[in-house]
């Protein structure tokens, strides 16, 4: 593969999020969109016509047919949450590299199985937390490393929006089947909060409001990273739009105002210090979906490990599962 300049992608599923990912694959300098598959006859062709109309792309009415296509190096997997682990494993066993939408799995053991299979088949697998590829987080890291806010002591991550009636199907499944806010947006809140702590989480506690199906619609919680370092997360499908995190250190704080930046949004980071400095930085817009695809393709083409490891996916999944358990039982769940 190292003499190739472009990774050849297939998309497994005609999902709504292809609106973002399909153009990202087409635009990525080191990637080529080869095929898209859906189990619904005609849906793959329809998605292609909608989001990448000028492209010569093979369409399949079966997911297996795409996995059998020897022209495809890597698969982007945007199926429903409770299908991710099974189809990631099937793709890996077909010898494909896989970029799987978040959350990669609903249980840590499933990621263990994916990791073992990926090693056996010598393929790269990454969980698709696209936001991490936006340069605004590197700028936040740079500010922390400069020492301006001192030692990181707490992170608050807040994600919410009012769910439109047309999207209520995201609450149709219970949390055990991947439905609800935790698996949909809570995974971001937990992932972004974890980004600023070096040590593993010691325990987690959470409370949640559920709808009739057993899906959570509003959840809040605290992750204990030991030694008084806490991450506070809250997310909801019935609150006004927020997608932000705030880091509080021993000498000041930094806030990232829009984690779900679209390619045209101007990213804003603000920071303040106890000695009276404050600033608001407006950064250059960036497309984190394209940057994610370019990163993954680059890793595969050049044999590098991706920025988001499967150990990171397991750590996130472990906290999600524990937070759901805490919300269901009212208990604090120890992780170590
Ligand atoms: N990274 C992000 O910013 C972001 C944003 C939103 C969602 N996501 C993630 O991406 C994944 C897909 O989310 P989504 O909201 O795009 O999912 P979605 O539109 O509900 O599609 C998920 C899968 O369900 C099937 N499907 C789609 N429409 C259907 C219909 N009308 N009837 C029956 N089946 C249908 C499709 O498989 P077939 O084509 O095989 O039928 C599709 O791959 C989820 O894991 C989600 O967590 C990521």
| Nearest residue by C-alpha to atom 25 in ligand 1 | 15
How far apart are the CA of 151 and the centre of ligand 1, in A?
40
How far apart are the CA of 22 and the centre of ligand 1, in A?
13
Ligand 1 neighbour 13 (Cβ under 6 A): yes
- 69 neighbors 58 (Cβ within 8 angstroms): yes
pLDDT, average across residues 299-309: 98
Residues sharing a CB contact under 8 Å with residue 156, sequence separation 6 or more, in sequence order? 193, 231, 232, 233, 234, 245, 246, 248
Per residue in 138-185, pLDDT (tens digit) is: 999 999 999 999 999 999 999 999 999 888 888 999 999 999 999 999
pLDDT, average across residues 65-88: 98
Is a pLDDT exceeding 70 seen at residue 215? Answer: yes
Ligand 1 neighbour 202 (Cβ under 6 A): no
Is a pLDDT exceeding 60 seen at residue 78? Answer: yes
| Residue 242 bridge partners (DSSP) | 160
Q: Which residue among 11, 17, 168, 191 is best mutated to probe the pocket of ligand 1, counting the most ligand atoms within 8 A of its Cβ?
A: 17
pLDDT, average across residues 105-118: 98
pLDDT, average across residues 11-29: 97
Q: Which structure tokens are listed for 128?
A: 């698709």
Q: Which structure tokens are listed for 309?
A: 């490891």
Neighbours of 162 (CB within 10 A): 10
- Kindly report which listed range (1-5, 49-53, 323-327) carries the lowest average pLDDT score: 1-5
| Nearest residue by C-alpha to atom 10 in ligand 1 | 78
Q: Which structure tokens are listed for 99?
A: 């970029």
pLDDT, average across residues 291-314: 98
Measured CA to CA, the distance from residue 128 to residue 152 in angstroms comes to 26
How far apart are the CA of 168 and the centre of ligand 1, in A?
13
How far apart are the CA of 126 and the centre of ligand 1, in A?
18
Per residue in 30-76, pLDDT (tens digit) is: 999 999 999 999 999 999 999 999 889 999 999 999 999 999 999 99
Is a pLDDT exceeding 60 seen at residue 228? Answer: yes
How far apart are the CA of 13 and the centre of ligand 1, in A?
7
pLDDT, average across residues 203-222: 97
Task: Give the pairing type, strands 31-37 and 7-12.
Answer: parallel
pLDDT, average across residues 128-136: 98
SS3 289: helix
Question: What does the pLDDT read at residue 4?
Answer: 84
Q: Give, as one character, the DSSP assignment of residue 260.
A: T
Ligand 1 neighbour 81 (Cβ under 6 A): yes
Question: What does the pLDDT read at residue 2?
Answer: 53
Question: What does the pLDDT read at residue 169?
Answer: 83
| Nearest residue by C-alpha to atom 29 in ligand 1 | 15
Is a pLDDT exceeding 90 seen at residue 3? Answer: no
CB-neighbour burial class of residue 273 (10 A; exposed 0-12, middle 13-18, buried 19+): middle
Ligand 1 neighbour 130 (Cβ under 6 A): yes
Ligand 1 neighbour 6 (Cβ under 6 A): no
Q: Which structure tokens are listed for 21?
A: 């990912």
CA 330 to chain centre: 27
| pTM greater than 0.75 (yes/no) | yes
Ligand 1 neighbour 167 (Cβ under 6 A): no
Q: Which structure tokens are listed for 108?
A: 């840590």
**Token match 């619609």: residue?**
217
Confidence of residue 252 (pLDDT cuts 50, 70, 90): very high
Q: What are phi and psi of 207, to 5 degrees?
A: -130, 150
How far apart are the CA of 14 and the centre of ligand 1, in A?
7
- How many helices (H) and strands (E) the chain has is answered by 10, 15
Is a pLDDT exceeding 70 seen at residue 1? Answer: no
Measured CA to CA, the distance from residue 56 to residue 73 in angstroms comes to 17
Sheet with 125-128: list strands edge to edge: 58-60, 31-37, 7-12, 74-77, 97-101, 125-128
């Amino acid at each position: 593969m190292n003499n190739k300049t472009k990774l050849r992608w297939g998309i497994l599923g005609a999902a709504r999020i292809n609106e973002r990912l399909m153009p990202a694959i087409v635009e990525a300098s080191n990637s080529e969109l080869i095929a898209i598959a859906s189990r619904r006859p005609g849906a793959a062709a329809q998605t292609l016509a909608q989001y990448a109309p000028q492209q010569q792309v093979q369409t399949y009415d079966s997911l297996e047919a795409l996995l059998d296509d020897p022209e495809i190096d890597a698969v982007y997997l945007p199926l429903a949450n409770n299908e991710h682990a099974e189809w990631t494993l099937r793709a890996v066993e077909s010898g494909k590299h896989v970029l799987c939408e978040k959350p990669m799995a609903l249980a840590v053991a499933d990621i263990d199985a994916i990791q073992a299979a990926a090693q056996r088949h010598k393929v790269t697998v990454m969980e698709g937390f696209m936001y991490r590829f936006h340069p605004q987080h590197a700028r936040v890291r740079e500010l922390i490393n400069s020492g301006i806010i001192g030692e990181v002591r707490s992170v608050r991550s807040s994600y919410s929006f009012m769910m439109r009636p047309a999207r209520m199907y995201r609450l149709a499944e219970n949390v055990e089947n991947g439905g609800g806010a935790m698996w949909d947006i809570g995974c971001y809140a937990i992932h972004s909060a974890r980004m600023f702590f070096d040590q593993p989480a010691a325990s987690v506690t959470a409370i949640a409001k559920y709808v009739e199906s057993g899906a959570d619609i509003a959840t809040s919680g605290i992750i204990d990273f030991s030694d008084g370092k806490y991450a506070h997360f809250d997310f909801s499908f019935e609150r006004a739009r927020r997608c932000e995190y705030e880091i509080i250190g021993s000498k000041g704080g930094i806030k990232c105002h829009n984690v779900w930046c679209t390619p045209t949004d101007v990213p804003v980071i603000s920071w303040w210090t106890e000695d009276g400095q404050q600033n608001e930085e407006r950064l250059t817009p960036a497309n984190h979906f394209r940057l994610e695809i370019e990163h993954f393709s680059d890793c595969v083409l050049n044999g590098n490990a991706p920025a988001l490891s499967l150990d990171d996916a397991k750590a996130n999944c472990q906290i999600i599962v524990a937070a759901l358990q805490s919300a269901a039982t009212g208990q604090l769940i120890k992780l170590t």
